[in-house]
């Protein structure tokens, strides 16, 4: 049997859903799973599924049998207002455990996720990928990429975190960013994918991240014992602190500075 889904939104939205599909595909190996996403996202999303023969990614624009309905179920969290009307809409882990249970039920399957830690990424590319940057050479990973869905509305210009990153350097830390800051190493300049940013997080003790696409693979099963600071910048009302032990979040850069000062890092 073939199960199809699609998501018309961003890289992170699709990656989260692929994590769920991976678990279903591994449990139901006699079935085929197909997910449709925008063509621009496929090269990076492919890294999350290359080890599975029964999970296929296709471009959203590719019509199957000529009908839009053949894309299967809409995997966006607010399809038909599901997220909008959900009592746990602002609690990431609690919401997605219920969302995925509902989605699996639609297909007549049992959800593979029953606890919060099941939501942490575990696809092999994160642990196995080689990266150009010397992973052990940094104290801080700063995810300063622009969010696409208003997750951090305080991100009011592409340079809004430059001063923050430089302050970390002035405090004696070795810093790598995901968006260029003059004079600092940058994953974008080295053409690292989001999975490779996840790999980088396995070797860096302090993560300060805008909640956006490149931050997601850092929430993985391999860095739970190595990350000493997992600080998320988010001001849309969503709470991710229950997703991964030790996660803290703030809705301002000033708040991030205060948290790091309290830890003796600034």
pLDDT tens for the chain, residues 1 to 266: 999 999 999 999 999 999 999 999 999 999 999 999 999 999 999 999 999 999 999 998 775 554 445 678 999 999 999 999 999 999 999 999 999 999 999 999 999 999 999 999 999 999 987 776 765 689 999 999 988 766 887 777 888 899 999 999 999 999 999 999 999 999 999 999 999 999 999 999 999 999 998 999 999 999 999 999 999 999 888 899 999 989 999 999 999 999 999 999 99
How many CB atoms within 10 Å of residue 179? 20
- Residues 194 and 235 reside in one and the same domain: yes
Q: How many domains does the chain have?
A: 2
CA angle 93, 194, 196 (to 5 degrees): 115
Of 62, 85, 119, which residue is a domain's last? 119
Residues 86 and 145 reside in one and the same domain: no
Q: How far apart are CA 126 and CA 221, in angstroms?
A: 10
Residue 187 near residue 176 (C-beta atoms within 8 A): yes
**22 C-beta neighbours (distance < 10 Å), count:** 20
Q: Examine the domain organization and report whether 95 and 188 are in the same domain.
A: no
Give yes or no: residues 14 and 140 share one domain: no
Same domain, 77 and 194: no
Q: Could you give the C-alpha distances from 76 to 5, 109, 142, 231, in angstroms and in order?
A: 10, 19, 27, 26
**Are residues 134 and 115 located together in one domain of the fold?**
no
Query: Could you tell me which of 50, 69, 97, 62 has the C-alpha nearest to residue 193?
Result: 50
Same domain membership, residue 65 and residue 25: yes
Residue finishing a domain among 119, 144, 177? 119
Among 96, 119, 142, the domain boundary falls at 119
Do residue 257 and residue 133 come from a single domain? Answer: yes
Measure the CA–CA gap between 97 and 215, rounded to whole angstroms: 20
Residues 112 and 165 in one domain: no
Residues 236 and 207 in one domain: yes
Q: How far, in Å, CA of 100 to CA of 59, rounded?
A: 22
Q: Are residues 224 and 248 in the same domain?
A: yes
**CATH number of the domain that residue 178 is part of:** 3.40.50
Q: How many residues does the chain have?
A: 266
Residue range of the domain that includes 174: 127-262
Let me know the angle formed at the C-alpha of 150 by 14 and 141, rounded to the nearest 5 degrees. Answer: 75
Statement to judge: residues 90 and 216 lie in one domain: no
Report whether 37 contacts 61 (CB < 8 A): no
């Amino acid at each position: 049997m073939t199960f199809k889904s699609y998501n018309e939104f961003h890289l992170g939205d699709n990656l989260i859903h692929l994590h769920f599909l991976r678990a279903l595909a591994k449990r139901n190996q006699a079935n085929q799973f197909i997910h449709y996403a925008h063509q621009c996202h496929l090269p990076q999303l492919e890294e999350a599924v290359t080890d599975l023969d029964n999970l296929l990614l296709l471009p959203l624009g590719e019509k199957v049998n000529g009908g839009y309905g053949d894309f299967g179920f809409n995997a966006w969290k607010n399809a038909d207002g599901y997220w909008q009307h959900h009592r746990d809409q602002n609690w990431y882990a609690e919401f997605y455990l219920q969302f995925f249970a509902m989605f699996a039920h639609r297909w007549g399957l049992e959800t593979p996720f029953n606890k919060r830690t099941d939501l942490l990424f575990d696809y092999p590319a994160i642990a196995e990928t080689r990266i150009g940057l010397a992973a052990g050479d940094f104290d801080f990973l700063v995810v300063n990429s622009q969010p696409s869905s208003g997750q951090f509305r305080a991100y009011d210009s592409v340079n809004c975190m430059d001063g923050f990153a430089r302050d970390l350097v002035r405090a004696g830390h070795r810093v790598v960013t995901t968006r260029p800051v003059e004079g600092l190493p940058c994953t974008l300049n080295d053409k690292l994918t989001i999975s490779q940013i996840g790999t980088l997080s396995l070797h860096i003790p302090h993560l300060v991240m805008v909640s956006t696409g490149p931050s997601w693979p850092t929430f993985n099963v391999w860095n739970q014992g190595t990350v000493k600071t997992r600080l998320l910048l988010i001001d849309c009302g969503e709470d991710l602190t229950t997703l991964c032990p030790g996660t803290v979040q703030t809705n301002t850069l000033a708040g991030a500075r205060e948290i790091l000062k309290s830890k003796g890092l600034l």
